[in-house]
Amino acid sequence: MSSISTNDLKNGMGLELSDGLFTVIEFQHVKPGKGGAFVRTKLRNVRTKGVLEKTFRADEKVEQAVIDKSEMQYLYREGNNVVFMDAQTYEQISVSSQSLGEAISFLKEGESVSLQRYKDEVIGIELPAAVELLVVETEPGIQGDRVSGARKPATLETGFVVQVPLFVNPNEKIKVDTRTGEYLTRA
């Protein structure tokens, strides 16, 4: 691990602080008229996803955490774990569902994803902004109900339940926003 100056911070950079492992969301260098310069940051905890605002002195040293990303193929669920396979080496790894958080709701078997690792620990998964999923179960659509704005629950192929407009029927593919978990449009 290497120490870097707070003057060299960049968005997306990983930091190992006493509070835990963080990524930089945003930062701002401030040089007041009186006193020393400082760096105001907004940091996201990698494990809990909580946001922390922290101020550092200018040129203060912090530990940089190198977060590796590796392309893996999602294979299947196994109890409370999910199994991924490296496409190059065919090595399989089992990851706790808790370390992936809500992202597990958007994974389809056979899909390629980018796993984020810190040392030997999988700390997250990188998903596209939207995914196409099949509606497995919902009430049948009602003819003419296209403008009312009313919603109904729909169970998707991954088991995730999303609120969809009344005109969406079973066996239709829809796009779902992976950041909010909301219905976007038909696919």
The answer on pLDDT for 163 being more than 60 is: yes
pLDDT of residue 41: 93
Q: What is the pLDDT of residues 48-76, one digit of tens each?
A: 778 999 999 988 899 998 888 888 898 98
pLDDT of residue 77: 86
Tokens for 14? 């990983």
The beta-strand segments (E) located in 35-97 are 38-45, 51-57, 61-65, 68-78, 81-86, 92-96
Task: Give mean pLDDT, residues 17-34.
Answer: 89
Count CB neighbours of 135 within 10 A.
20
68-126 CATH: 2.40.50.140
The beta-strand segments (E) located in 31-172 are 38-45, 51-57, 61-65, 68-78, 81-86, 92-96, 112-118, 121-126, 130-137, 151-156, 161-165
Q: How many whole angstroms separate alpha carbon 151 and alpha carbon 141?
A: 11
Cβ-contact 135, 174 below 8 angstroms: yes
pTM, two decimal places: 0.68
pLDDT of residue 2: 81
Single-letter code of the amino acid located at 83: V
Q: What is the pLDDT of residues 83-106, one digit of tens each?
A: 999 888 888 988 888 777 788 888
Q: Do domains 2-65 and 130-186 have the same CATH topology?
A: no
The answer on pLDDT for 46 being more than 70 is: yes
Q: Which of 19, 29, 27, 18 has its CA nearest to residue 58? A: 29
Task: Give mean pLDDT, residues 135-150.
Answer: 72
Q: Where do the structural domains in the chain lie, given as residue ranges?
A: 2-65, 68-126, 130-186
Q: Which superfamily, per CATH, for 130-186?
A: Nucleic acid-binding proteins (2.40.50.140)
Place of tokens 């109904």: 152
Helices (H) and strands (E) in the chain, counts: 1, 16
Fold held by 2-65: SH3 type barrels. (2.30.30)
